[in-house]
């Protein structure tokens, strides 16, 4: 891997600003990495070589003219196939959208470009982000560079692989049920699922948006370091008039962070359903790192965790059945996506009546209140991303039992989506096969900076 493609986004931007390296050189280095790695790994579905070079030249000219090109000057980034970028179709990984070139960039893309960052490619995903692996009939499977037999998780798997292998310095993904944190943990990089409303999402279309997508899904960054995802958050956050739930949340100041209780609750085995020894060791390493950094570490059983995970699953599967019914789609779902939808909904017990569906949403306030009370005294929750080591490819397929096992392994992940909380996935060592092990730090609502601060301590120790 070229020296430039090992640098952090912050270092790249600083070097471009100081004219130690040109934006054009940065882009060329990443294009060389793409040429070397992408044909095998299939992380990027489209590569914007000429456009990226032209954008880099504009950054270099701006610097030469004494202008300030932005905090991400010259930083190459990937854009997930579900986020609008006018340079190529927004396919959502589905053949039915293979020609769907958007009319405008998503707000997050516009903000990255305004900050001087350069789109370099599109990140692969599963059909509509529905699976916990990255594969589809349109572009094929994204491979794990550490072990091709293992999953890269999903659905932001393409962007995570691109960041981990030097094809992009930052990846723009989204997280409905772990889709940022899971691939980040498998690839040994950092990923942030921001608080609900902190970062704009897709503009609302005339057809409307399913309630679970409105409440559970957020856009967020993947990066080589925690500091890089924090830098990206600063660029991405804020109100977008086209997104009715986007918010203007003032970043927490250093004084506010210092005033917060320095206490982290460790969830070693969520719900006592079992955890792999290597994953448990990663959590222990992270807890020890936080203790050395001055955090008080206590054990905690998060309130109503099982209910949060079950409600997320049943509500999500209900909405998937309503919106992805093959009878309503002009082109069928991909084979693996159709199999996942069939098996997951069969075991999730989707709601059959409007009254039950409404009652499930009503319980969300009860669960959220219990977590908010907990996080007054114990602001941060540390636990595994998945309770299983990085699994084999297609681990979420193979029948109802496999679908159920995948959800059980990810119970702490999906509870975060149900509650809209910020969570950072950060590396915490390796397993017995040398594959990365990630943990997540879950903060109170809109306390993204607190979770990022703690994640830096874990990262530095790892």
**Positions marked catalytic:** 80, 155, 179
Beta strands in 224-367 (DSSP E): 263-266, 296-299
Whether the Cβ atoms of residue 5 and residue 56 lie closer than 8 Å to each other = no
Locate 207 and state its tokens: 């057809």
Beta strands in 48-90 (DSSP E): 76-80
Whether the Cβ atoms of residue 383 and residue 410 lie closer than 8 Å to each other = no
Q: Is 450 helix (H, G, I), strand (E, B) or coil?
A: helix
Looking from the CA of 442 toward its CB, the CA atoms found within 13 Å total: 27
Whether the Cβ atoms of residue 266 and residue 287 lie closer than 8 Å to each other = yes
**Listed residue (144, 151, 153) closest to 177, CA to CA:** 153
CB neighbours of residue 22 within 10 Å: 18
Q: Any idea what the Cα angle at residue 185 is, between residues 320 and 310, rounded to 5°?
A: 35
Compute CA 35 distance to the chain's CA centroid, rounded to the nearest angstrom. Answer: 25
Q: Over the Cα atoms of the chain, what is R_g?
A: 21
């Amino acid at each position: 891997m070229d020296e430039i493609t090992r640098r952090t986004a912050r270092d790249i931007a600083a070097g471009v600003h100081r004219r130690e390296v040109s934006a054009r050189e940065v882009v060329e280095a990443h294009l060389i990495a793409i040429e070397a790695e992408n044909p095998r790994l299939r992380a990027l579905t489209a590569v914007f070589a000429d456009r990226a070079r032209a954008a880099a030249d504009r950054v270099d000219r701006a610097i030469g003219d004494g202008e300030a090109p932005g905090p991400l000057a010259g930083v190459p980034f990937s854009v997930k196939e579900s986020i609008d970028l006018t340079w190529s179709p927004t396919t959502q990984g589905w053949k039915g959208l293979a020609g769907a070139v958007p009319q405008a960039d998503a707000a997050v893309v516009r903000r990255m470009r305004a900050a001087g960052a350069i789109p370099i490619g599109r990140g692969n995903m599963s059909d509509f982000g529905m699976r916990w692996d990255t594969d589809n009939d349109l572009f094929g499977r994204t491979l794990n560079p550490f072990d091709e037999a293992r999953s890269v998780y999903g659905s932001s798997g393409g962007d995570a692989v691109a960041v981990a292998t030097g094809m992009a310095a930052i990846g723009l993904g989204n997280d409905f049920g772990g889709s940022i944190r899971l691939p980040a943990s498998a690839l040994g990089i950092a990923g942030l699922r921001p608080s609900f409303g902190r970062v704009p999402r897709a503009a609302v279309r005339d057809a409307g948006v399913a309630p679970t997508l409105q409440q559970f899904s957020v856009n967020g960054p993947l990066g080589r370091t925690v500091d890089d995802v924090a830098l990206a958050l600063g660029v991405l956050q804020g109100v977008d008039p086209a997104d009715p739930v986007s918010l203007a949340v003032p970043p927490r100041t250093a004084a506010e962070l210092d005033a917060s209780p320095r206490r982290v609750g460790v969830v070693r085995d969520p719900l006592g359903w079992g955890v792999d020894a290597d994953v448990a060791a990663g959590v222990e390493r992270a807890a020890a790192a936080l203790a050395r950094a001055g955090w008080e570490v206590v054990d905690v059983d998060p309130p109503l965790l099982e209910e949060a995970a079950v409600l997320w699953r049943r509500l999500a599967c209900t909405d998937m059945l309503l919106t992805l019914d093959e009878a309503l789609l002009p082109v069928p779902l991909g084979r693996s996506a159709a199999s996942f939808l069939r098996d997951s909904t069969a075991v999730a017990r989707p709601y059959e009546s409007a009254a039950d569906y409404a009652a499930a949403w009503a319980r969300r306030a009860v669960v959220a209140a219990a977590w908010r009370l907990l996080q007054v005294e114990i602001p941060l929750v540390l636990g595994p991303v998945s309770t299983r080591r990085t699994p084999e490819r297609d681990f979420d397929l193979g029948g109802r039992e496999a679908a159920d096992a995948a959800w059980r392994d990810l119970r702490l992940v999906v509870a975060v989506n149900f509650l809209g909380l910020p969570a950072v996935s950060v590396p915490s060592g390796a397993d017995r096969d040398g594959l990365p092990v990630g943990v997540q730090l879950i903060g109170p609502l809109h306390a993204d900076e607190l979770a990022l601060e703690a994640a830096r301590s874990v990262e530095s120790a790892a």
